[in-house]
């Protein structure tokens, strides 16, 4: 719904990024129109805001009444959820979550699962609607294979916005095989442990913006197959960081832009990760990255030790541009700001690193590592060619212009895995000095 007006307002300054989208995104019908047609309040279908009664059956009943056109409303209040809900096949409908849903069930799967929908919108009118997954109850016992909080699958023309997702037992938000979607104005808070992804997406023509993620795995990550995806104004706040992958057989990812990405105390600012496999990642831009206290900054690793080697020569990376990266890395001697390690049997080509100025917070040295990578910048070789062994270069003076602002919402201490994670209020901005594209709900 917002794509056309955004083009008019900003086409003059963002032509490259906007080109990543291939058309309009979001629902075809406003939620006001859906609400005017029919409203299905879960309180009329057996739900109770008592934090005890299972809201699952009421959600299903309300959906059945509104799935052909209307709005399912969860009013303000505290609700328990013991059984998970699959919203199958709805058209021209909305889910208005103004209350807080607390997980009380123990099953795996997806607490809220929207599948095969068209013209769909999930939102909070107040910006206070939330799902509290209470994942710590699993995590403190060493378990992280429980429920995902929200999954949107095989759905067209949709949006999810102004929602808060907290402490998923497993993943927080997955968009799988989706088209013409928009996700924005969201806060995601998870435990400090791998396997608790923030936002995972694969699909076509998707706009993700103005989201903050706390966890220790994927912040906002694109997976295969994907094309025409724009991701901007993202705050990875003590997280795993953004990524492409991990990549496997027949990878097909193209025309993706990440811009205005702020990363604090995370595993990396951006990682492209694979080990073997096949296919391609091409025509990508990574613009306006700010980072502080991250283990890695720009990290291309096609021999990623955290995954099992797959059959194939490797995923071919080509026409990737990294521009305007500022800030610091935690320890530039141990993990330098630039690591480009490409597959020997499928060397990277046209990897361009422009205006990257980052310095170390520990010591007085940066190292840069390249292997089988071609392009411009740092230790990359020019032109094209075959495999070459890893080379390193060293920088012992701080680069000009590396200083970058920080955000007041940066967490001094990450959330653990043994106690409840509080539900946050929505922050006013998700990248230094940049207002959200769409006004936050309730403000």
CA–CA distance, 73 with 269 (Å, rounded to integer)? 38
Structure tokens belonging to residue 86: 């699959």
Structure tokens belonging to residue 391: 């080379």
Residue with tokens 């832009």, as numbered in its chain: 257
Neighbours of 18 (CB within 10 A): 16
Phi (first) and psi of residue 138, to 5 degrees: -85, -45
Does 344 qualify as catalytic in the annotation? no
Does 217 qualify as catalytic in the annotation? yes
Catalytic residue among 138, 217, 283, 301: 217
Catalytic residue among 98, 209, 292, 299: 292
Contact between 408 and 431 under an 8 Å Cβ cutoff? The reply is no
Under DSSP, is residue 65 helix (H, G, I), strand (E, B) or coil? helix
Residue with tokens 């075959």, as numbered in its chain: 386
Cα-based angle 308, 309, 311 (whole degrees, multiple of 5): 135
Contact between 182 and 199 under an 8 Å Cβ cutoff? The reply is no
Under DSSP, is residue 377 helix (H, G, I), strand (E, B) or coil? coil
Percent composition of the chain: helix, strand, coil (DSSP 3-state, to 5): 10, 45, 45
Residues labelled as active-site residues: 217, 292
């Amino acid at each position: 719904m917002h794509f056309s007006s955004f083009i008019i307002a900003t086409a003059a300054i963002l032509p490259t990024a906007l080109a990543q989208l291939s058309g309009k995104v979001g629902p075809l019908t406003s939620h006001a129109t859906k609400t005017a047609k029919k409203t299905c309040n879960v309180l009329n279908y057996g739900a109770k805001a008592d934090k005890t009664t299972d809201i699952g059956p009421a959600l299903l009943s309300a959906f059945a009444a509104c799935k052909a056109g209307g709005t399912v409303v969860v009013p303000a209040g505290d609700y328990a959820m013991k059984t998970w809900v699959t919203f199958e096949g709805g058209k021209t409908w909305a889910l208005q979550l103004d209350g807080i849903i607390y997980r009380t069930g123990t099953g795996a799967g997806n607490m809220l699962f929207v599948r095969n929908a068209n013209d769909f919108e999930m939102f909070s009118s107040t910006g206070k609607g939330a799902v509290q997954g209470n994942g710590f109850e699993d995590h403190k016992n060493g378990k992280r294979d429980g429920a995902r909080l929200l999954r949107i699958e095989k759905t067209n023309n949709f949006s999810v916005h102004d929602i808060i997702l907290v402490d998923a037992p497993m993943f927080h938000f997955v968009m799988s095989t989706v088209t013409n979607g928009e996700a924005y104005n969201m806060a995601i808070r998870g435990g400090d442990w791998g396997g608790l992804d923030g936002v995972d997406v694969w699909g076509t023509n998707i706009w993700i913006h103005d989201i903050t993620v706390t966890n220790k795995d994927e912040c906002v990550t694109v997976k295969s197959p994907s094309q025409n995806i724009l991701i901007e104004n993202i705050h990875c706040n003590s997280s795993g960081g953004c990524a492409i992958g991990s990549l496997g057989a027949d990878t097909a990812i193209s025309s993706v832009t990440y811009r205005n990405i702020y990363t604090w105390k995370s595993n990396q600012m951006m990682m492209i990760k694979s080990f073997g496999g096949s296919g391609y990642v091409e025509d990508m831009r990574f613009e306006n990255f700010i980072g502080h206290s991250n283990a890695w900054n720009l990290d291309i690793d096609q021999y990623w030790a955290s995954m099992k080697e797959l059959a194939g020569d490797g995923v071919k990376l080509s026409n990737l541009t990294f521009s305007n990266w500022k800030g610091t890395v935690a320890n530039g001697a141990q993990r330098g700001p630039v690591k480009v390690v490409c597959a020997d049997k499928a060397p990277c080509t046209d990897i361009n690193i422009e205006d990257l100025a980052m310095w170390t917070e520990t010591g007085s040295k940066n190292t840069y590592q390249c292997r089988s990578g071609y392009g411009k910048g740092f230790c990359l070789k020019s032109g094209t060619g075959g495999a070459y062994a890893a080379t390193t270069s060293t920088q012992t003076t701080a680069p000009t212009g590396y200083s970058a602002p920080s955000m007041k919402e940066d967490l001094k201490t990450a959330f653990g895995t043994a106690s409840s994670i509080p539900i946050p209020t929505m922050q006013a901005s998700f990248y230094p000095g940049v207002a959200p594209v769409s006004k936050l709900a309730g403000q």
